[in-house]
Copies of this chain bind each other. A is one copy, B any other.
């Protein structure tokens, strides 16, 4: 866990990824949506690319010179549950009125949420139903 935070724990990283999941790929759009200083955004995008979470892909809009856009890699897409977890908590405890974004299953249309499930197929109600078991062979990092 500490490792993950070292990678994406900086101030704007997860917000950049949120935009990425919403389909925002261009520097200027990210900058406008987030309101982050350009210098910080440049730096964050750089480290996310370094970490293999985003890819820098060339593209060319009509009548413009070639530029680069930022796309999620598989490694980046796998951070989706993290973002959803943050979102759900915010929706529950911080939302003024109603969640501003709903997630639904693309196939069946019903609402999607994040849950703890065990390999027997039970869905757990929360942290109290989980036992954490330390393992040997590594100090705790997660």
Number of residues on chain A facing chain B (CB within 8 A) = 76
Q: Does A30 contact B (CB under 8 A)?
A: no
Chain B residues within an 8 Å CB radius of A140: 100-101
A90: which of B1, B98, B114, B139 is its contact (CB, 8 Å)?
B1
Chain B residues within an 8 Å CB radius of A100: 134-135, 137-142
The residues of A with any CB-CB pair to B shorter than 8 Å are: 1-5, 7, 9, 11, 14-15, 18, 21-22, 75, 77-108, 110-120, 122-124, 126-135, 137-142
Knowing that A1-B14, A95-B141, A112-B116 touch, tell me 8 more A-B residue pairs with CB under 8 angstroms. A4-B90, A78-B92, A78-B126, A84-B85, A95-B138, A96-B141, A99-B135, A100-B142
